[in-house]
Amino acid sequence: MSDNYAKGGIFKRARRRKHLTLRLTSLIDVFIILLVFLIKNISARPEVTLFSKNLQLPISTAGKTPKITTTISATEHLLLINGKIVESIQDIIEQKELLNENLYDGLLEEKKKTLFLSEQNPDIIFSGEAIIQADKNIPYKVIKKLIYTCGQAEFGEISLQVLRKE
């Protein structure tokens, strides 16, 4: 009798195993946490300016959002205007005068492009805005020359791009 009972138990367990489903509760818990974190992180305005991985921007408490304009990036070795290489940083450090010819020519070209576009489309105006993205280890000597050259090329509204401190 007891033997039969035991057999019945085995059968019952086997039958029950068929109904087993995946236990998803813990997975859903993880997903909910992830979802909350990602929704918290989402921002209404996307990043308009990109910078390369080898450019370490300094961290600052400034809170103004960048606009799309001419960007001058100074990495540890190269100087770029809108992603095009113009000059090496070493040359800028070594030069004596404040004005850098290559950067000046590059900026004038950018200005010419904007002026040409503004002839075709009156919505585009040349406002003299430029964003400087400089690596945090760059000496002030270089920054000074960049700002001076921008000023000479009539780019008067200069912004320094930094990483936002939370």
Partner 1 sequence: MRELFRNKRKGKKTMELFTSPVLNLFIILIPFLLITAVFVQTSVIDLSLPSGKNKTTSEEMKAPKEKLLILSIAPQGFYLILGEKLLKIIPKEEDTFSFTKLGEILQKVKDEFPEQTSIIIEADDGIIYDHIIHAMDQCRNCGLINISLSASKG
Sign of CA dihedral 87, 83, 106, 136: negative
Please give the C-alpha separations between residue 90 and each of 46, 66, 79, in angstroms, as whole numbers. Answer: 34, 28, 10
Q: Does 57 bind partner 1 (CB under 8 A)?
A: yes
Looking only at Cα atoms, what is the longest distance across the chain? 106
The tokens for 111 are 């200005």
Rounded CA separation 70/114 (Å): 10
Q: Does 9 bind partner 1 (CB under 8 A)?
A: no
Site string for partner 1, 95-134 (x = CB under 8 A): ---x-----------------------------x--x--x
According to CB under 8 A, which one of 78, 85, 108, 162 is a site residue for partner 1?
Answer: 162
Identify which range of 1-9, 59-67, 81-89, 110-118 contacts partner 1 by CB under 8 A: 59-67
Identify which range of 61-69, 84-92, 99-107, 116-124 contacts partner 1 by CB under 8 A: 61-69
Counting every residue written for the chain, the total comes to: 166
- Nearby residues of 133 by Cβ (< 8 Å), 6 or more positions away: 49, 51, 55, 57, 71, 72, 73, 74, 161
Which residue number, 33 or 117, has a Cβ lying nearer to partner 1?
33
The tokens for 123 are 């919505």
According to CB under 8 A, which one of 7, 35, 112, 115 is a site residue for partner 1?
Answer: 35
Q: Does 90 bind partner 1 (CB under 8 A)?
A: no
According to CB under 8 A, which one of 4, 64, 96, 122 is a site residue for partner 1?
Answer: 64
Q: Nearest CA to 131 among 53, 50, 43?
A: 50
Write out the residues near partner 1 by the rule CB under 8 A.
16, 19, 21, 24-25, 27-28, 31-32, 34-35, 38-39, 41-43, 46-47, 49, 51, 57-66, 98, 128, 131, 134-141, 143-144, 147-148, 150-151, 154-164
